[in-house]
Amino acid sequence: MTQISRRLALGAAVATLAAPALRAQTNAIRIVVPFAPGGSTDAVARLVSPGLTQRLGVPVVVDNRGGAAGSIGTDVVAKARPDGQTWLLTFDSHATLAALLGPQLPFDPAKDLDPVMLIGGAPYVLACKPDKPFRSITDVVDAAKRTPDGVSFASTGNGTIGHLTMVLLQNRTGTRMTHLPYRSGGLAVNDTVAGHTDMMIGSAAVVNPHVRGGTLRIFAQFGAERLPALSALPTVAEAGFQGLEAEAWWGVFAPHGTPQDAVMRMNAALKDSLQDPQVRRTMEETQQARLIMSDPQGLQTFLTREVAKWSAVVRENHIAAD
């Protein structure tokens, strides 16, 4: 059994033992976040959970189950009873799980999970400590050409969209950089702020609070358009690096077979919670997110495109989970 397989099996076993006890004690609805606390997915889940509690009339708790590129927590939901008690709020790496883990994945993302809502997204950015020399993506490429493997970057793990975007950048520029994968955006941010890595690629959502606090500086943005808060900073396409658009996104899924009325009730509660003025302002200004709040079919259509795009990068570059 491989290390990833052991981690998946252990995570599923612990979740199986813990979940019934949690429901029996509190009758709570669980929002499983398949990453460690501190990242943008965790932040989004905790931002909407009070509103969901109010609108659904029962406690809504956030349950972090990190590890194996998000597959441990996702497996918890894929194997949960479809009774409307357990939901998944996950990140963009969901689109690469099947390509990344292959036969080691103990569930089928397309068959074992039902779409609920595409919450929205935020462009990926490159950020570094203010005292680092990088001012543009060209500066990074030039430094990597001068010293192969001498420039390091942090991401939220192997096979995440941020990592894959940097793989594409290296392929297209003939450079080599040192990748430092972390289990969450929060951990990647902490080590970047501490200077243990030259820079990090992450969603504007997870980086922006630290930019506002002066501990990080964004010097490249991968969105199709410039963020309003970064209107003076060119996108990477404008800087001459075409085809590197990348956006982080958050989606909600249910165990397959969850009754449609429960799915639509959760969709409506999420939409109402996200439209609360304070929550919306936090998402759009603090997290720099673009809210979509789709119906279930909207998430399914979007996910199909993302799977096709990023799974090809995983396969072509022989990327494995960390």
pLDDT band, residue 322 (cuts 50/70/90): low
pLDDT at residue 82 tops 70: yes
pLDDT at residue 184 tops 90: no
Least confident of 58-62, 125-129, 260-264, 287-291: 287-291
| CA distance linking residue 99 with residue 110, whole number of Å | 12
Report pLDDT for 287: 81
| CA distance linking residue 227 with residue 122, whole number of Å | 9
Average pLDDT of span 45-52: 97
Second CATH level (architecture) for the domain 123-230: 3-Layer(aba) Sandwich (3.40)
Higher per-residue confidence, 14 vs 235: 235
pLDDT at residue 121 tops 70: yes
Tens-digit pLDDT profile for residues 247-294 = 999 999 999 999 999 999 999 999 999 999 999 999 998 888 899 999
Q: Where are the alpha helices (DSSP H) in 174-289?
A: 185-193, 204-212, 260-274, 277-281
Tens-digit pLDDT profile for residues 2-21 = 444 444 444 444 444 434 43
Q: Report the chain's mean pLDDT, rounded to a whole number.
A: 90
Q: Which of 187, 206, 172, 186 is nearest to 286 (CA)?
A: 206
Positions of CATH 3.40.190.150 in the chain: 3-121+248-316
Positions of CATH 3.40.190.10 in the chain: 123-230
* φ, ψ (nearest 5 deg) of residue 248: -75, 150
3-121+248-316 CATH choice from 1.10.760.10, 3.30.300.30, 3.40.190.150, 3.60.150.10: 3.40.190.150
**Enclosing H/E stretch for 7:** helix 3-26
